[in-house]
Amino acid sequence: MNRRFDLTFILPLLGILGLGLITLSSALSYNPGKFYGQIIWTLIAVAVFLVVTYRPHRFWENFSIPLFFATLILLLLVLVIGKKAGGSYRWLDLGFMNFQPSELAKVSLILFIAYRLNQKPTLQDGYKLRDILPEAVAVALTLLLVYAEPDLGTTLLLGAVSFIVIFSTKIHRRRLIALVVIAVISAPVLWQFVLADYQKRRIIAVATMLWSDNPEMTRADRYQTTQSVIAVGAGRLSGKGYRAGTQNILRFIPEHHTDFVFSVYAEEFGLTGSLFLLLLYFLLLYRILGIIPQVSDKYMALVTMGTASLVWLEVVINIGMVSGMLPVVGIPLPFFSYGGSALVAHAILLGLVHNFSIHSRYR
C-alpha cells in the first residue's frame, strides 16, 4: 500500500495531542514522572496508529471476533483479580502498567458489531429485532461486565455507541418505536434498582446546582463540579496563562489531569483556547464522517461511524461534565486526558479509520 497520509485527518489529531501534552505538563508539574510516562504512552500510541494504518484492513476485520472474546475474558478477570481504586475494580495490574479492559471494550465492541452486521444482508425495510439478537446479546453481556466494575459512565457510553452503530444500518420502524417505548418505561426501574446511591446523588447535584441551597449536598456532591466550573470561568477570554491557573496549581480540582483536564486548559487558555480546541475536534470529526461515503463496504462504514460517535460522545460528555451541565460520570477527553489505555485504544480506532481513508483514496 502506498505510504501516504490523509493530512486533513492527521493535522487536527496532532493538534489535539499537542495541546493535551502542553496542558498535562502544567497539570502534572508537581509530578514530572507521570508526565514523562504520558509522553512514552503517546509515542506508543503513535506507533500503534501507524501499524494499524498500514496493515491490510482485512486483517483487522478478521481479527474482530477473537478480539471481542479476548476482551470479555479480560473484563471477567478484572472483576476477579483487578486492582481496586476509587471504589472500583477497573484495572489489571501488569507490573509495569495498569491496564483498563473497558477501554479495549470500546474498540472490540465496535469491530464486533461491524463485522457481524457486515455478514448480514441489508434489508430494504430494515432489520427486525430477532435479526440483530446475537449482536444485542453481545452488547448486553459487555455492558453488564463493565457496569459490574462499577463503571456507569463507560457502560452508558458503550451502550450509546452500540445503539448508533446498529441503528445506522436501518431498523424496522415499528421495532424502533417499540424500543423507544420500552426505554421510557424502564427508566424509573433503572433509577430505583440499578443506579447506586452515589450515582443518583451526582445526577441530582448537577440538576439542582443552580437553585438548591442544601449545604450538605453542596459540600459533598458538588465540590468537584463547582471547582471545575470556577476554573473554566476564571479563564475568561484569553486565560491566565500557562501554569498560571490557581485552581490547577493549588490543586483544588480533583482528577485535574484525567477527567477534568479540560478545566485546567480552559483556566490557562481561556475561551479563545477552548474554542480552538473544539474547532480541532470538529475538523477531526468532520473528516471522519466524510470518509463514510468513500469506503468500499459496510464493515468500513460501520467502524467509521462507531469511531465518530465514540469520539463525539466523549467530547460532549466530558466538556458537559466539567462545565457543570452533565453529571460526573468519569469519561476522559479523547487524546487529551492522562492515561495510556484510553490513548492506545483510540489510536487503534483512529488508525483503522485512517487506513480506510487512504485505502479508499489510493486503491
More confident residue, 4 or 11: 11
Question: Which pLDDT score, from 0 to 100, does residue 249 have?
Answer: 79
Question: Which pLDDT score, from 0 to 100, does residue 231 have?
Answer: 86
Percent of the chain scoring above 90 in pLDDT: 44
Q: Average the pLDDT over each of 18-22, 149-153, 183-187 and give the range with the smallest value.
A: 183-187
Mean of the per-residue pLDDT values of the chain: 83
The mean pLDDT value for 281-300 works out to 91
Question: Which pLDDT score, from 0 to 100, does residue 1 have?
Answer: 43
**Residue 48's pLDDT band (boundaries 50, 70, 90)?**
very high
- Residue 2, in any domain of the structure: no
Question: Which pLDDT score, from 0 to 100, does residue 138 have?
Answer: 92
- Residue 292, in any domain of the structure: yes
- Residue 19, in any domain of the structure: yes
Question: Which of 158, 243, 153, 252 lies closest to 198 in space, CA to CA?
Answer: 153
Q: For the segment 232-285, what is each residue's pLDDT rounded down to a tens digit?
A: 888 889 889 888 888 877 777 777 888 899 999 999 999 999 999 999 999 999
- Residue 117, in any domain of the structure: yes
One-letter amino acid identity for 31? Answer: N
Q: What is the value of pTM for the model shown?
A: 0.85
| Contact between residue 139 and residue 162 where contact means Cβ atoms under 8 Å apart | yes
Tell me: cis bond preceding 334? Omega within 30 of 0 counts.
no
More confident residue, 43 or 152: 43
Give DSSP secondary structure letters for 83-150.
EEETTEEEEEE-SS-EE-HHHHHHHHHHHHHHHHHHTSPPPTT-B-GGGGHHHHHHHHHHHHHHHTSS
| Count of structural domains within the chain | 1
Domain of 358 in residue numbering reads as 7-362
- Residue 79, in any domain of the structure: yes
- Residue 1, in any domain of the structure: no
Cα(276)–Cα(69) distance, integer angstroms: 40
- Residue 194, in any domain of the structure: yes
- Residue 172, in any domain of the structure: yes
